[in-house]
Amino acid sequence: MVTTVRVKARRDSDLDGSTALTIDALTRLTAALDADLQATNRAIVAKMESPVALIPQLAAHLVAAGGKRLRPLLTLASARLCGYEGERHVQLAACVEFIHTATLLHDDVVDESVLRRGLASANAVFGNKASVLVGDFLFARAFQLMVADGSLDVLRILSAAAATIAEGEVLQLTTQNDLATTEQKYFEVIRGKTAALFAAACEVGGVIAGRPEAECAALATYGMDLGMAFQLVDDALDYNASVAELGKTIGDDFREGKLTYPVLIAIAEGNEAETAFWARTLGEGNQTEQDLATALSYISRHNTIERTISRAETFAASASAALNTLPASPMRDTMQDVATYTTARRH
């Protein structure tokens, strides 16, 4: 039986039939993998246990904050798409979630964030020191799970992803407040900090199923392009005041001086006054309370949100096409629909 899950729309009037269908794709994927996902959640809770009380306390705070578990879902889905019938995918899905959660803990400290998924971030509740150290603990748990799996290929893929994520975050730090950041450098950043884990999460599903190299490569391409689309949309939503209920304060990237795709377009096409504005607010970090509203007006003037979404749609289409290498199945159809859902998040 497929469970019906109510999805809260940003604005009901924005949802036409096609958008409702694509938003339902993630619900359908979650429902199809319900047993695997429940097993993964149990594995996550079990591996977060520690005699050091602060670790499970902070971990429980993260679990309470919710989240779609998209990355572990991709591992579970890829394994099932490839006909895998064992149990290794559950532990590896938990591993992928630990890597992701560890990076979130560290990111919130670096960015001095106070919210995560609409709730107080772990560093706001427990402090920066605890967040960094528990993040380290989760990375260690992830590597324990990789080793326990026993596959050198799995270890190679996931450990490489962990290193690439760190490189992407450091690269983003070096481009922060730098108005000379190029589009190429921006894509290099998001490929590292976001898309690499999507790619690894998908690829290991094919590896444990023993699928041919071409199919595993196709899964990695799907994950990489899906991750690129996901981050582009996320960056667009940061400047979309109509979706403030996403659990992320609108304008975080602006306040942190991040040069994301919507801003890069606005800078490239802005007049002299706009260039001076971006130089002061992002380059120098000299901002007033009114500056976000001005930034949003420039973003709107150059239509950069829709143009960012359009770029994301190109990546989503590429992700969907990559799965055509694998045999047709309902799971393949749903995973392709999830790629479309990613760009429908603008609503």
Give pLDDT, residue 61. Answer: 80
Has residue 226 been placed in a domain? yes
Total of domains in the chain: 1
Has residue 12 been placed in a domain? no
Has residue 94 been placed in a domain? yes
Tell me if residue 203 falls in helix, strand or coil: helix
Averages of pLDDT over runs of 10 residues in the chain (347 residues) are 29 36 78 96 92 88 74 98 97 96 88 70 83 92 97 98 96 92 96 97 98 98 98 93 59 92 97 97 95 96 96 98 97 96 73
Give pLDDT, residue 113. Answer: 74
Structure tokens, 299: 């973003």
CATH number assigned to the domain comprising residue 198: 1.10.600.10
Nearest-CA neighbor of 307 among 339, 263, 270, 242? 263
> What is the rounded end-to-end Cα distance, in angstroms, of the chain?
29
Spatial CB neighbours of 55, under 8 Å, sequence gap ≥ 6? 48, 134, 137
Helix or strand (DSSP H, E) at 166 = helix 152-175
Decide: 312 and 343 in contact? Cβ < 8 Å: yes
Give pLDDT, residue 252. Answer: 87
The phi, psi pair for 152, rounded to 5°, reads: -65, -30
Has residue 209 been placed in a domain? yes
State which residues form the domain around 313: 17-344
Angle 254-255-259 from CA coordinates, rounded to 5°? 40
Has residue 4 been placed in a domain? no
Has residue 203 been placed in a domain? yes
Has residue 336 been placed in a domain? yes
Nearest-CA neighbor of 92 among 218, 177, 200, 5? 200
The phi, psi pair for 170, rounded to 5°, reads: -65, -40
Has residue 7 been placed in a domain? no
